[in-house]
Amino acid sequence: MNKLFRRIAAPAALATGIAASATMVQTIRTPIPAVDAQAAQALPGADVLASSFRQASQVALQGVVYVQVEAAPRQARQQMPFEGTPFEDFFPGMPAPGGQAPRLGSGSGFIISPDGYIMTNNHVVESATRVTVQLTDRREYNATVVGRDPNTDVAVLKVEAENLPTVKIGNSNLLDVGDWVLALGYPLSLGETVTAGIISAKGRSIGIMQRPGQVGASPVEHFIQTDAAINPGNSGGPLVNLRGEAIGMNTAIASTTGTYTGYGFAVPIELAKRVADDLIRYGSVRRPKLGVQISGTTPADVEVFGLSQASGAVVRGVQAGAARDAGIQLGDVIVAIDGQQIRDDGDLLERIALRQPGERVTLEVVRYGERRRLDVELGAFENQVTEEAPSTAQPARGDVGTLGFAAAELTPALANQLGIRGQSGGVVVTEVDRASGAPTGLVGMRIERLNGEEIGSVEDLRRVAGRLDAGDVVSLIGRTQDGEQTIINYRVRE
């Protein structure tokens, strides 16, 4: 069964059931032995840990809120009328009677200021027409949406109140794998709930925030992974350390069932707080722009770019602006920013997102084995996310060769079919063999160079490809469908 990553807002109603296997129900026939003196000496440590859990829960829970959401009704046209909306996970297969009842959902949030600012997930309140929040003492308030950021899945609410209990903000940069954490929220409509676990991993990217036709700032996915139980309804609640400080915001789960099966994911609090501050101050997020397209490094990149290890962010494209002005080039590998090592592309995206437009940063790059330092003044993204209808045009098909893809001369008709703007002539990738190891994103790329040799025709491509053996590295430089230059490296599958 395939693993699914799901955002974790909850349905309005919960069906419960109890099942037990007879093989799991056994009578204990052997008396439980008394605790010996040596074991008893270890109990104070357990008491200290239990006390830490208890205190952290009590401190943080008072600032956690239950978020209830209504959205405008939609006429049901199919069995799953909310498919493709933020409410898809709320009501799978449950259309509203007559299509006229308001859509309902719920999630969690936590108060970050005594005067009523509340942090939650964007997907909890997106498309909402009415939002109410309830505190643990059952006080209830109408809330307004101050702002939302789909690129980080962070939103801020505001209620008109004073002297509210808050959740203290911690520092997610101080976390390490193995640290104890508690997940707080309102899962499955059960009321305020605390679960415990550890940090299982940091810097996870799970592809849950990608949107078709997205333009502008890229999504920032650099989640904290935890095995603390997180379920639908936990969305927007805090992940806290044993001091009761929020170090993340619960956002998604990896599940084949739609409920907890082992791992959950939280937005690091440093990133969430940076976004929330902008939403409160400006109503939108002022995202700094470096002006490059990047990806993580692969074993093929290590060989091509002369790296010591597969870490850093590979520059696959350079736009006009800050990066180009600073001298960043196609094929550079960004390995550090202001002296801090970069693990992967998600790490770089998060570190840049924590800055402000106009700030200067020092990047360390590896350029084909040579290490360089470049000073960059960050630009700014326009705060815009749009969706376009997917293209139904099918690329021309052809025989897939040694390189793992088919190519053809780029004619005006083929350019129109592939959605290529402002380019003609040369050679374009028309099809990729998924079993070959070639990246599927090659389709529509106009090839300019292959392993350093200029490509002007399909014959040029065949000539260079004919010298390749299984296991060799391929380095392609070309233009995307939008005309941006990019570089792709991969290994020919054996």
* Active-site choice (123, 255, 278, 332): 123
State whether the Cα torsion 66-72-76-78 is positive or negative. negative
What span, in angstroms and rounded, lies between the C-alpha atoms of 106 and 125? 9
CB atoms < 10 A from the CB of 65, how many?
A: 32
Pick left, alpha or beta for residue 61 (phi over 0 → left; psi -120 to 50 → alpha; otherwise beta): alpha
Render 246-266 in DSSP notation, one character per residue: EEEEEEEEEESSSS-SSEEEE
Of the candidates 370, 371, 374, 383, the residue with the CA atom closest to the CA atom of residue 323: 374
Which candidate in 57, 108, 218, 235 is catalytic?
235
CA–CA separation, 27 and 139 (whole Å)? 46
Q: Can you tell me whether residue 95 is helix, strand or coil?
A: coil
Catalytic residue status for 153: yes
Distances from the Cα of 4 to the Cαs of 12, 71, 207, 223, in angstroms?
A: 22, 26, 11, 16
Residue 222 catalytic? no
CA distance 336 to 158: 38
d(CA 142, CA 160): 8
Do residues 251 and 8 touch, judged by C-beta distance below 8 A?
yes
123 noted as active-site residue: yes
393: which DSSP letter?
-
Catalytic annotation, pick one of 89, 106, 149, 153? 153
d(C-alpha 487, C-alpha 447), whole Å: 10
Half-sphere exposure of 32 (CA within 13 A, CB side): 3
Burial of residue 491 (CB within 10 Å: 0-12, 13-18, 19+) is middle
Catalytic (active-site) positions: 123, 153, 235
